[in-house]
Structure 1
Amino acid sequence: MSKPLSEMSLEELWKLFPIQLTEHHDCWKEWYQTEKAYLLSVLPDKVKIHHIGSTSINGIWAKPIVDILVEANLNNHHALKSTLVKNGYICMAQAETRIDFNKGYTPNGFAEKVFHLHLRELGDNDELYFRDYLNEHQNTAKSYEKLKLSLWKKFEHNRDGYTDSKTEFVREYTYKAILQYGEIYK
């Protein structure tokens, strides 16, 4: 019998849930749409839900994990957290204005469909700019893909190292995107 996730060390979790990259799959957009419809059925009307992360960028390799951004009034975060946990999400991290959840992590590894949900304050949505910029600039998207592939095996069992190694690239192109698009998401 497997140990419950809550009793596993970070190293055990990283081993059970390694970084895996795969070619782009069109089904990721369908998974997002289905999960969005589900979230809209359990969350209040005043949330904004977006597909973010590499699965939302056309044609690039990605972890087969659909990232979802939920923007909501900060005063509602506690109630939203409770609702999400009651509906199958595991709270993984919480800060003052951000809460991160996972769904599809089991004591035996990844489920068929895996989601990361990022609950944020309204307007805390720079990922939308990055997503749009990479979808519009395929050469930049391919550079991002190349970076991710170069980091994959080095950080296969170290999610923090993998994420940290992409930060400079993400910041640079998020900044360019905000300059290009203005405040369309603010």
Structure 2
Amino acid sequence: MKDVHDESNWPIWAKEKIDIVEPNPNWRKIGEQEKDLILNYLSSYGVSEVQHYGSTSIPNLPSKPIIDLMAKINSFTSIKDISSVLAKHDWHYVPPELDGRHWQRFFVKVINHKRVAHLHIMLETEERWNQQLLFRDLLRSNPHFIEEYANLKRNLAKKYAQDREGYTKAKTEFINYVLSTQS
């Protein structure tokens, strides 16, 4: 049996370089289309809401060209069935022991060996849901935050080009700062 923690066993898309690109006005439309598809595929499994919330949901923000979605569910008991349904549509399940985030179930949509979307399935009671929507909405309403975040993301993409976890963790201070402006 393969060791899932051994990077030599990972698919190409799991080791992609972090690449920040200029904003694409079609990202929001693509996000809406993906939202509708996810709801169509998963509403019978208890998914009650899907949101496009990542950087691609914020106009004028450079980003990795990957649509970030999150979905609410009342229980993770159907994840095996959900995984089977999503697999038919190019989604790959990343188990929590590999993802390292017990509070979600994570899927990556892959086309031509490249990530095109992420799906974070969370329980209805997960506090990160509201925080992530608040962060998105605060950036959408503040061009100064967008400019600061764009500069940070570009610099971190250079520093952590091959380290997705390092890149993500390094953004935490800025995210917390933006969220603190609403306290």
Q: TM-score normalised by the shorter chain: which range applies? A: 0.7 to 0.9
1:170 to 142, 159, 175: 175
Shift of 1:85: 3.2
Does the 8 Å contact 1:49/1:68 carry over to 2?
yes
TM-score of the superposed pair, with normalisation by structure 1:
0.79
Say yes or no: does 1:159 pair with 2:164. yes
Moved more, 5-14 or 115-124: 5-14
Q: 1:61 is matched with which residue?
A: 62
Deviations, residues 24-72 of structure 1 (Å, cap 9, x unaligned) = 1011111112112211221116521001111011101100000001111
In structure 2, relative to structure 1, the CA distance for the partners of 1:85 and 1:14 (3 Å cut) is closer
Does the 8 Å contact 1:14/1:158 carry over to 2?
no
In structure 2, relative to structure 1, the CA distance for the partners of 1:105 and 1:171 (3 Å cut) is farther
Partners of 1:33 and 1:90 in 2: CA distance: 20
Deviations, residues 8-28 of structure 1 (Å, cap 9, x unaligned) = 537874785110111110111
Alignment length, in residue pairs?
170
Q: Give the secondary-structure state (helix, strand or coil) at the position aligned to 2:85.
A: helix
Shift of 1:154: 1.4
Does the 8 Å contact 1:52/1:67 carry over to 2?
yes
Q: 2:109 is matched with which residue?
A: 103
Q: Which amino acid letter does the alignment assign opposite residue 117 of structure 1?
A: L
Structure 2, unpaired ranges of 5+: none
Structure 1, unpaired ranges of 5+: 180-186
Does the 8 Å contact 2:21/2:62 carry over to 1?
yes
Shift of 1:121: 0.9
Partners of 1:6 and 1:26 in 2: CA distance: 37
Task: Identify which of structures 1 and 2 has the higher relative contact order when contacts are C-alpha pairs closer than 8 Å and 6+ apart.
Answer: 1
RMSD of Structure 2 on Structure 1 (CA) = 2.7
Q: Give the secondary-structure state (helix, strand or coil) at the position aligned to 1:43.
A: helix
After TM superposition, the structure 1 = structure 2 runs for residues 1-186 of structure 1, keeping only pairs within 5 Å, are: 9=8, 13=12, 16-44=15-43, 46-75=47-76, 77-78=78-79, 79-94=81-96, 95-104=101-110, 106=112, 109-110=113-114, 114-124=116-126, 125=129, 126-177=131-182, 179=183
Partners of 2:173 and 2:125 in 1: CA distance: 22
Shift of 1:93: 3.5
Q: Which amino acid letter does the alignment assign opposite residue 55 of structure 1?
A: T
Partners of 2:39 and 2:20 in 1: CA distance: 29
* Percentage of matched positions with identical amino acids: 28
TM-score of the superposed pair, with normalisation by structure 2:
0.80
